[in-house]
Amino acid sequence: MPFKTLPILITTLLIFSLFSCTGTDSGDSAESNNDFNEPLPIANIIVDGEFSDWGNVQIKATDPIGDQNGSTSADLVSYSVARDESQIFILIEVDGEIAFPLSSNIGSSGYGVYIHFWSNEYCNLPEERFGDTNFLAAVVRIIDGQIYSSIENHIEGGNNELYYAYNGSKIELSFNIYDIPENAKAMDFRPSSLSYGPNVEHDKFSDDVINTGCYIIPE
């Protein structure tokens, strides 16, 4: 019955076109190495505030310069991610210098990365994203003159160890690979500069995973 099968055929072609665009075409954004369905790069990173160990790791995504609220310490420029057999590493670069607080006229502030987990390998199907409470937040912030760091586990609750070191315009972070939830197939990273209180001062990467990219989680 051609009149019945035609709409089905059109729908199928539309769905196929959609997947062709979002799933396999990675060449649209010149600034970001946001290929989908790629593994986390492996690198020997030491969290020590010295950054030559990132030399072979491609920048994953960039953020515009000058789009922040407040000082250049809040202005995110790029981020990179890597792993070894036991740790996930994140490198964030800002336009100014990494600073705690972000500037002298604000109090509690710092840097964070929101890490979402997906049950498919492309981070591209909204219904496949784990629930909004199912993510990690890696946060380094200053409170009353003291810097605190933790990876807040929104899957099981509680905070785990987040290591950090910074120097000049960059800060590197690491956390244990076992903090990744079971059954997650892929993850995306949303770096942010953060401030708390009346003088809002921050910047963040796009909430669109098309811009920030996606990584397959190692088995």
Q: Which residues bind Ca ion (CB under 5 A)?
A: 46, 48, 50, 53, 63, 67, 75-76, 203
Q: In whole angstroms, how far apart are CA 106 and each of 1, 102, 109, 183, 202?
A: 69, 7, 7, 40, 11
Pairing assessment for the beta strands 215-216 and 146-153 based on DSSP bridges: unpaired
Q: How far is the CB of 89 from Ca ion (least distance, A)?
A: 8
Q: How far is the CB of 129 from Ca ion (least distance, A)?
A: 25
Q: 50 or 161: whose CB is closer to Ca ion?
A: 50
Pairwise CA distance, residues 83 & 219, whole Å? 13
Contacts of 40 (CB under 8 A, 6+ apart): 81, 82, 83, 88, 215, 216, 217, 218
Pairwise CA distance, residues 84 & 54, whole Å? 12
Longest dimension (CA), the chain: 74
Q: How far is the CB of 120 from Ca ion (least distance, A)?
A: 29
Q: How far is the CB of 66 from Ca ion (least distance, A)?
A: 7
Pairwise CA distance, residues 136 & 184, whole Å? 12
Q: How far is the CB of 26 from Ca ion (least distance, A)?
A: 23
Check: CB of residue 64 under 8 Å from CB of residue 71. no
